[in-house]
Amino acid sequence: MDTDIEPLAPGLAVGQEHEPFVDQPLTLTDFVRYQGASGDMNPIHHDPEYARKGGYDQPFAVGMLAAGVLGTYVTDWTGGANIRKFGVRFREQAWPGDVLTYAGRVAAIRQENGETVADLELSVTRQTGGLHLTGWATVVVPEGALS
């Protein structure tokens, strides 16, 4: 077994859902902090007047903010060294005050390049039930982690 592989909880099985993570309500401060860290200073994400001129009622979240939190959700679940692929698709905007819930489930377990891997289906939903983004990941399944 590769020494870089981190353990997953035993009993991993197709259909298994990981415990959701419910974040704190989004704030403009969250947007600005992310913008400063990422270098993406598009004013549509922090300037109310600019957002209104663009046809929005208020600034909206930077999509990569939730994508980054989703990536952390996956690494906390599976271990960062186990991730082989990760991607997201943006669906609908998130706004200040929105509460995002991060969730995932095992969609498939298969062999790839001589390793047992799990394909994960991921989602980030708003408190309204709206889907903010979807995601997917492929992770290595260490020996002994399957049920």
Q: Give the helix/strand (H/E) hosting 53.
A: helix 48-53
- Chain-centre distance of CA 16, in angstroms? 17
pLDDT given at position 123: 98
pLDDT by residue for the chain (147 residues), tens digit each?
344 555 565 567 889 999 999 999 999 999 999 999 999 999 999 999 999 999 999 999 999 999 999 999 999 999 899 999 999 999 999 999 999 999 999 999 999 998 899 999 999 999 999 999 999 999 998 776 665
Backbone angles phi, psi at 132, to 5 degrees: -75, -50
pLDDT given at position 13: 85
Q: How far apart, in whole angstroms, are the C-alpha atoms of residue 81 and residue 67?
A: 18
What would the CATH number be for the domain defined by 17-140?
3.10.129.10
Name the pTM for this structure: 0.90
CA within 13 Å, CB half, 72: 8
CA within 13 Å, CB half, 113: 7
Tally Cβ neighbours within 10 Å of residue 37.
Answer: 10
Which amino acid is located at 106 in the chain? Answer: V
* Ranges of each domain in the chain: 17-140
Which amino acid is located at 147 in the chain? Answer: S
